[in-house]
Chains A and B, each alone.
Chain A
């Protein structure tokens, strides 16, 4: 097993961090008929993307500060895919060959119901994207689509979901994104977030686990308080 410790913003994570909405089957199913009603007016025809801005990206162990207007956050346990070769309008096979490796990501999100506009206030707060601790070489995880993702709060498993539920499996997802948005070496793609992501608040220790990749753990602290 080959793995390197990750430092957000440094190599090999020098690029953009993109998340994907509606890439988990259960997420789509729960929308039900609403998907065809205003304001959505129909299922998306391609991957629905969002950005986790550089201010959100922190390492394993870094305390995450919740500002006074945030009571709770969803623990968005997911797989992060790191790119090693540029993908532009690629096939799934090309995409698979361009994966450097995998890591854990906690896509912390302020709960929100509407999926109409971009969720900056919900997803782009400082520290809201813990990443790491390691990058596991792609060759050591030949079948990422069979992995199980767990979200833990204070050591207790609060959610478990399988990457078999992805609407677009990893390689297909990358290929479809690259139809309109090229992916570059150092970019990180979060493959999706399950709708049952548990809620946590200040004082909680939150963690993401995938067997074979490890555990990413951070503590949530209230603004003005230091980490315990």
Chain B
């Protein structure tokens, strides 16, 4: 089984720790992962802002970079949804516009192999207990694209419930959008901030120390709102919780090369 990691551009540039956590987690589960360096970005920000044509080279790039892998695993529901829902549309539109079916074929070759992290863990590896240890009170925010477009269902919850030491507390209004919305966050900053404030208020009402999510773009917004308020809560990606173990409860070893000498 050849597995490629698509950490996403956000995690590559801003939050590499999440990518490192996925590598540590998957290798612990016996999966060897690769990071094809030709990858960059799925094109979601451009596409969702109305720049479909600017996304086309990225569809080709993604398909090329991940050719030959059985699975492409990504710790982002929204980037997975971008590929799954929108790449076929981009290909179909290019064909309708008389520009051949190259893009449609590129999309079709990639789409079925791209999986969000919890899909890969639960559906492909068939695990819900990944052997993690995380002795904290945690609430979970299911980001919109994972929740409604991918239909992740209870996969993240099952994974979290199996974590040793973790106390999972219900987030009021969990299914409501946090207000990030990509460029929405800066195009409509007042509404975005109002939604973020409500999300944070709900999160703080749980008394949890950690708000867990499976999309770091949403967590940048929620976490930034929490930090601005000096709130006693931090936003942590699900992968970083699942990668913690009794032997390494804070993930200090993820970044050190010796953990993965197999390559």
Bind each other: no
Chain B contact residues, CB within 8 Å of chain A: none
Chain A contact residues, CB within 8 Å of chain B: none
